[in-house]
Amino acid sequence: MRSGSSDNTEISFAASTGFRIFAGLRRLMPGLIFLPVSDSDQSLTVVVTRVIKPGCEAAFERAMKEFITIAWTFPGHLGMQMLRPAESDRSGEYTILARFESLAARRVFTTSPIYQEWMSKLLDQSIGAPVVRELSGIDGWLALSGRAGNPPKWKMALTVWVGVYLLSQAGYALLGPVIGSWPRSLQALLVSALVVAALTWLVLPPVTRTLQRWYFPANRR
């Protein structure tokens, strides 16, 4: 009985210490410990490509600036960016990148009357219907870095694997003196949470931008 009581006390102490560490990190870096807990909570990147009618480019860009301002008023909308075609590109293809807190927030936005009204206005300046792609995870970060295509899956997997390995090693090394006496399950819980958070908000965005030439060697100049 005494042994069981001692184990319970150790687990209780470890859990309370873990909560204090999480609370401290959240105060220092409030965005870091905001982890997605289900599919509906995961952020979503939407990539829209439109071919604009010749001579309508300036009007389209003005309309998009107004549309972006309106989009910001919707809950869960995290921003929108318009990418113009290169000066040497005569295709008239524009790329629009939008970020949402979740798929649910995206659906609220796209089912609103004001969204439908604006889609009709923008269609008048477009050649055909736009191509819309909804991306999450590393695909979304690649899109936010200005690339709408997907690299090979093995390259994506290798990127995440290396990131998880290095961050988990660093996590255990830095937190070892604090969590070394914790049960292994609680150690893994804390370190894995920090690894996922660091990958999502701190590591993948700059890494995927840096590795663009490796992801897309055919586009190397």
Give 17-59 as a DSSP string: HHHHHHHHHHHH-TTTT----SGGGS-EEEEEEEEBPTT-HHH
Per-residue HEC secondary structure of 80-113 comes to EEEECCCCCCCCCEEEEEEEECCHHHHHHHHCCH
Contacts of 101 (CB under 8 A, 6+ apart): 41, 43, 44, 76, 77, 78
Mean pLDDT of the chain: 77
pLDDT at site 30 = 41
CATH number for region 43-135: 3.30.70.100
Q: Where are the domains of the chain?
A: 2-36+152-219, 43-135
Q: What is the pLDDT of residues 108-167, one digit of tens each?
A: 999 999 999 999 999 999 999 999 988 876 555 555 555 555 667 788 888 888 989 999
Rg (Cα) of the chain, in Å, rounded? 23
DSSP labels for 104-143?
A: HHHHHHHTSHHHHHHHHHHHHTBSSPPEEEEE-THHHHHH
Q: What is the pLDDT of residues 68-105, one digit of tens each?
A: 999 999 999 988 888 888 777 788 899 898 889 888 99
Average pLDDT over residues 17-27: 46
pLDDT at site 138 = 59
pTM: 0.52
Distance, in Å, from the CA atom of 37 to the CA atom of 53, rounded to the nearest integer, reads: 43
Instruction: For residue 208, name the pLDDT band (cuts at 50, 70, 90).
Output: confident
Through-space distance between the first and last CA atoms of the chain, rounded to whole angstroms? 71
